[in-house]
A and B are shown apart, each in its own frame.
Chain A
Amino acid sequence: QSALTQPASVSGSPGQSITISCTGTSSDVGGYNYVSWYQQHPGKAPKLMIYEVSNRPSGVSNRFSGSKSGNTASLTISGLQAEDEADYYCSSYTSSSTLGVFGGGTKLTVL
């Protein structure tokens, strides 16, 4: 069982917006602004899409945005495109001895 909770799947039609949630505790998501999001296409390594809650690395589309409220972080993808279909994982710094934790992943299907 992952320490961060994500929905197993979400779906949307091209052009729509979707939001993926990532729920933790005050020891991780809620306590620090070190939440990141990763996109993983089948057979590929994960790719950093959002870092420190809401920042986009260079080269990542501005259709991807991140936010946080309390112990829940969110990734929003607007103007869905077929290429966005992938698995998405959140990660957070945690004050526990492990220092790092991932969510269970969310499969995004573009209908």
Chain B
Amino acid sequence: QVTLKESGPVLVKPTETLTLTCTVSGFSLSNARMGVSWIRQPPGKALEWLAHIFSNDEKSYSTSLKSRLTISKDTSKSQVVLTMTNMDPVDTATYYCARLLNWNYDYWGQGTLVTVSS
């Protein structure tokens, strides 16, 4: 059974760095056909793709957020980590991780709501 679960702080202050962890089970991060993506959704708004990482450690980032994002993985721990620097209230959103298989997000985590406020 494939599952993904996001974890991290529910509240961060402006200018702080956000670190989110996606812990996966039911598949390996070393599987050549798969990757993991981070996607966010501000309250009442659309999905926004942020970043993804593949088994060969190839990474890709949203053009508009590239300077603030870092994605990495620890295959032995089955974890993918996303860091976002210089958080702002507009970054308040539910953050999802999802498995990427052949450019389809076939399994999603439940999401974690992150609020940016002083």
Interface of A toward B, CB cutoff 8 Å:
2, 32, 34, 36, 38, 45-48, 51-52, 57, 89, 91-93, 96-105
Query: Is residue B48 contacting chain A, with contact meaning CB distance below 8 A?
Result: yes
- Are A45 and B103 in contact (CB-based, < 8 A)? no
Q: List 19 A-B contacts (CB under 8 A).
A: A36-B103, A36-B105, A45-B109, A46-B47, A46-B98, A46-B105, A47-B108, A48-B106, A51-B102, A52-B104, A89-B47, A91-B47, A91-B49, A92-B103, A93-B103, A96-B63, A100-B52, A100-B100, A102-B48
Q: Give the total of B residues in contact with A, Cβ under 8 Å.
A: 23
A91 to B102, CA, bound (A): 12
Given contacts A45-B109, A48-B105, contact A104 B60 (CB under 8 A): no
Q: Which residues of A contact B100 (CB under 8 A)?
A: 100
Q: Which residues of A contact B104 (CB under 8 A)?
A: 34, 36, 48, 51-52, 91
Please give the distance in Å from B41's CB to the nearest CB on chain A. 9
- Are B60 and A99 in contact (CB-based, < 8 A)? yes
Interface of B is mostly: strand
- Are B106 and A57 in contact (CB-based, < 8 A)? yes
- Are B49 and A46 in contact (CB-based, < 8 A)? no
Q: Which residues of A contact B61 (CB under 8 A)?
A: 98
The residue of chain B having its C-beta at the shortest distance from the C-beta of A3 within the complex is: B49
Minimum-distance CB pairs A-B, first 5: A34-B103, A51-B104, A45-B108, A93-B103, A105-B46
* Contact residues of B between 43 and 77, Cβ < 8 Å to A: 46-49, 52, 60-63
- Are B111 and A105 in contact (CB-based, < 8 A)? no
- Are B63 and A89 in contact (CB-based, < 8 A)? no
In the complex, besides A38-B105, A46-B96, A51-B104, 11 extra interface pairs with C-beta distance below 8 angstroms are A36-B105, A46-B105, A47-B108, A51-B106, A89-B46, A91-B47, A91-B49, A92-B103, A99-B52, A102-B46, A104-B46
